Structure 1
Amino acid sequence: MGTVLGLLTIFPLLWMVSGAFKPEDEIWNMSLLPSSPTLDNFIYVFTEVPFLRYMFNSFFVSAVVTVAALLFHSMAAYALARLKFRGRETIFMVIFSTLLVSLPVVLIPTFVVVRTLGLLDSYAGLIIPMIFNAFGIFLLRQFYLGLPDELEEAAMIDGAGYWRIFWNVVLPLSKPILSALAVFFFLANWNSFIWPLTITANPDLRVVQVGIATFQQQYAANWNYVLAAATVAAAPTLLMFFFFQKQIVASIKTSGIK
C-alpha cells in the first residue's frame, strides 16, 4: 500500500519532467519516456520569456527573508527560552497563537499597512511582511529549552554576557535546526504566490510562481512550455531537500517534536 501511494505521489512530478522534454505533438502522451526528447521548450522559456528575471526575484526575496528570519527568530527564541523576565510566557503564547491565523485572514490588513507605508511594488513590500513566522520561533525555542544550563553557567563564569553567550555558544550549537529552518523559509517564500500577486503589478518584480501563472494564461495551448517552466521552478526545491534532508531530520529529533 505504501508503495502504491508513493508511486501515485511521484507520478505527477515524473510526468511534468517528462512533458518538459516532449515536443508539442507528444505532450498528451502518458508515456514517461518521450520518443523524441528536445530542449527546445527550455530554450524558449529562457529566451522568449523573462524567466531568469522571475527566478532572480524569487531567489533574492527568499534569500533575504531566510537570513533575516533566522537572525530575528533565533534572538527572539533565545530570549523566550533562556532569559527570565515578566510576561515571558504570555508573549510566547501570543506569538504561538498566530499559528492559528491563516494568510487569507491577515491579507487585507497587511496590504493596507504595506500600502500606507508606500511599499507596494517594491522588494521591501515582498520581504518585510514575510520575515515574521511563529513556527520558526516556536521550533527554535523548543531547541533552546533542551540546551544544558551548564553551558551558559560556564560562559558566565568566564565573564560572558547574554549577547556573547548567544553568538559564541548558542548559535554554533543551533546549526542543524537553523539549516532545517533555512530550507523551510526559503522554500516557503520560493513557492509564495498570493502575497506577491497581491502587492506587485510591475512585471520586473514578478516572482517565479506568479510568472508561471501568467505564463500558463498566455500559453494555455502550449503545455510543453508551461511544463518546462514548472520543471525549472521546481528544481531548487528538489535540490534543497536532497542536500539538506539530514539537517531536517536532525532538527526534528533535537527539537522535541515527535
Structure 2
Amino acid sequence: MNKRSPAFATLQHGLLAAMCVLAVFPLYWMLISSFKNEAEIFTSSLVPMKPIWNNYRYAFEQMPIFRMMFNSFAVAALMTVFQLATSLLAAYALVRWRFRGQTLIFALLSLTWLIPYQSIMIPNYVLVNDMGLNETLIGVVLPFAVSTFAILSLYQSFQSFPRVLIEAACIDGQSDFGILTNLILPNIKSTVASLGIILFLNGWNEYLWPMLITRKMENSPIQIGLKLFVNSDTNMWGSLMAATTVSCIPILLIYIALQRQIVDSFVRYGVK
C-alpha cells in the first residue's frame, strides 16, 4: 500500500483512534462506575441506568480527600524543588572543577541509578523512624531529596555549555554561584523546566515509600488514602471510584495546562 495514498492515511488514523479509545476507556469506566449503585457496579453497562451522587457524598464523608490531595501536591512539589536544587549544584560541581577522583564519583553516581530502591528502603525507614519523622511529609520527601537521574540529565546539559563563557565570567569577577544562577540557568531554563515536570510527575506517582511511612489518611498522599479506604470498607466500590475520579482532577488540569511542555519533557528525557 502506498504510504501517501488516502487508504493508508485512513488506516493510520483508524489505528490511532482505536489506541486512543483503549487508553481512555479505563478512565471512562472509572467515571461511570462512580455514578452506579451497589447493584449495578459489577454489570457491563456502559451508561449508569440510575445515576446517583451518594458515592461522592460518602467518599467525602469518610475520607479527607482535599487534605490528601494537598499532601500529594506538597510531596511532589517538595521532591521537585529538592531534587532540582541538589542536582543543579552536583552537576555544576562535576562540570566546573577538575579534581582527583572525579571520574570515580561520576561512575558511582551512575551505578546508584541501577540499584533498586527496595534494597535500601529498610535502612531509610530505620533512619526516618529514629529521626521521629513518621507520619510527616518531610519523612516522605527526605529520602528523595537527591535524584541521580536529575544529576546525570543536568550533567549532560552543563557539558554542552561553552566553557569559554564560564571562564570569561570568572575573569569578570563572577562567583561560582553567580555563574550558575546568572549565566548558565537562563540559557538552560527550558531543560530545567522539562526536568522539573518529569520529577513532579514521579513525585506525584510515588506509592511504595509513602505507604510505608504513613498510616493515617490525614497524613497520607491521595494514592495511599485510597488504599486505606479499600482496606477499611471493601464493599463501597462506587465510593472508591468517586474518590479516585476526584483525585485525578488536579493532575488532569495540570496536564491540560502544560500538555505541550509535558510531551516535550517525555520526548527529551524518555519515560523513566
Interval containing the TM-score (normalised by the shorter chain)? 0.7 to 0.9
Match runs of 1:125-136 below 5 Å: 125-136=139-150
Q: Give 1:226 deviation, angstroms.
A: 0.8
Q: What is the percentage of aligned positions where both structures have the same residue?
A: 37
* 2:221 maps to 1:196: no
Matched residue SS, 2:248? helix
Provide the C-alpha distance between the structure 1 equivalents of 2:252 and 2:231, rounded to a whole number of angstroms. Answer: 25
Match runs of 1:247-258 below 5 Å: 247-251=261-265
Q: Give 1:36 deviation, angstroms.
A: 4.6
Q: What's the TM-score once normalised by structure 1's chain length?
A: 0.86
Q: Give 1:203 deviation, angstroms.
A: 3.9
Larger mean Cα displacement after TM superposition, 27-36 or 182-191: 27-36
- Residues 256, 12 of structure 1: CA spacing in aligned structure 2 closer, same or farther, 3 A cutoff? closer
Q: Give 1:94 deviation, angstroms.
A: 0.9
Matched residue SS, 1:114? helix
Q: Give 1:2 deviation, angstroms.
A: 5.1
* 2:108 maps to 1:101: no
Provide the C-alpha distance between the structure 1 equivalents of 2:266 and 2:183, rounded to a whole number of angstroms. Answer: 21
Match runs of 1:60-139 below 5 Å: 60-139=74-153
Kindly indicate whether the alpha-carbon contact (under 8 Å) linking 1:143 and 1:255 is maintained by their aligned counterparts in 2. Answer: no
- Residues 158, 256 of structure 1: CA spacing in aligned structure 2 closer, same or farther, 3 A cutoff? farther
Name 2:7's counterpart in structure 1. none
Amino acid at match of 2:197: V
Q: Give 1:108 deviation, angstroms.
A: 0.9
Kindly indicate whether the alpha-carbon contact (under 8 Å) linking 1:177 and 1:247 is maintained by their aligned counterparts in 2. Answer: no
Q: Give 1:255 deviation, angstroms.
A: 6.8
Name 1:20's counterpart in structure 2. 34
Q: Give 1:155 deviation, angstroms.
A: 2.4
Match runs of 1:203-242 below 5 Å: 203-242=217-256
Provide the C-alpha distance between the structure 1 equivalents of 2:121 and 2:254, rounded to a whole number of angstroms. Answer: 28
Provide the C-alpha distance between the structure 2 equivalents of 1:149 and 1:256, rounded to a whole number of angstroms. Answer: 27
Q: Deviations over 1:128-183 (max 9, x none)?
A: 11212111111111122122234323423432122101011112223222222222
Pairwise CA RMSD: 2.6
Unaligned 5+ runs, structure 1: none
> Which structure has the larger Rg over C-alpha atoms?
2
Larger mean Cα displacement after TM superposition, 70-79 or 46-55: 46-55
Kindly indicate whether the alpha-carbon contact (under 8 Å) linking 1:193 and 1:209 is maintained by their aligned counterparts in 2. Answer: yes
Provide the C-alpha distance between the structure 2 equivalents of 1:139 and 1:194, rounded to a whole number of angstroms. Answer: 24
Matched residue SS, 1:26? coil
Kindly indicate whether the alpha-carbon contact (under 8 Å) linking 1:120 and 1:200 is maintained by their aligned counterparts in 2. Answer: yes
Q: Give 1:23 deviation, angstroms.
A: 3.9
Name 1:153's counterpart in structure 2. 167
Amino acid at match of 1:55: M
Q: Give 1:216 deviation, angstroms.
A: 1.7
- Residues 32, 76 of structure 1: CA spacing in aligned structure 2 closer, same or farther, 3 A cutoff? farther
- Residues 175, 250 of structure 1: CA spacing in aligned structure 2 closer, same or farther, 3 A cutoff? farther
- Residues 41, 135 of structure 1: CA spacing in aligned structure 2 closer, same or farther, 3 A cutoff? same
- Residues 11, 185 of structure 1: CA spacing in aligned structure 2 closer, same or farther, 3 A cutoff? same
Name 1:142's counterpart in structure 2. 156
Unaligned 5+ runs, structure 2: 1-14
Larger mean Cα displacement after TM superposition, 22-31 or 85-94: 22-31
Name 1:56's counterpart in structure 2. 70
- Residues 158, 43 of structure 1: CA spacing in aligned structure 2 closer, same or farther, 3 A cutoff? farther
- Residues 97, 3 of structure 1: CA spacing in aligned structure 2 closer, same or farther, 3 A cutoff? farther
Q: Deviations over 1:24-57 (max 9, x none)?
A: 4433344444345444433332233212221222
Provide the C-alpha distance between the structure 1 equivalents of 2:100 and 2:84, rounded to a whole number of angstroms. Answer: 25
- Residues 8, 71 of structure 1: CA spacing in aligned structure 2 closer, same or farther, 3 A cutoff? same
Q: Deviations over 1:37-85 (max 9, x none)?
A: 4444333322332122212222222222211211111111121233322
Matched residue SS, 1:100? coil
Q: Give 1:112 deviation, angstroms.
A: 1.6
Provide the C-alpha distance between the structure 2 equivalents of 1:61 and 1:118, rounded to a whole number of angstroms. Answer: 18
Provide the C-alpha distance between the structure 2 equivalents of 1:110 and 1:8, rounded to a whole number of angstroms. Answer: 39
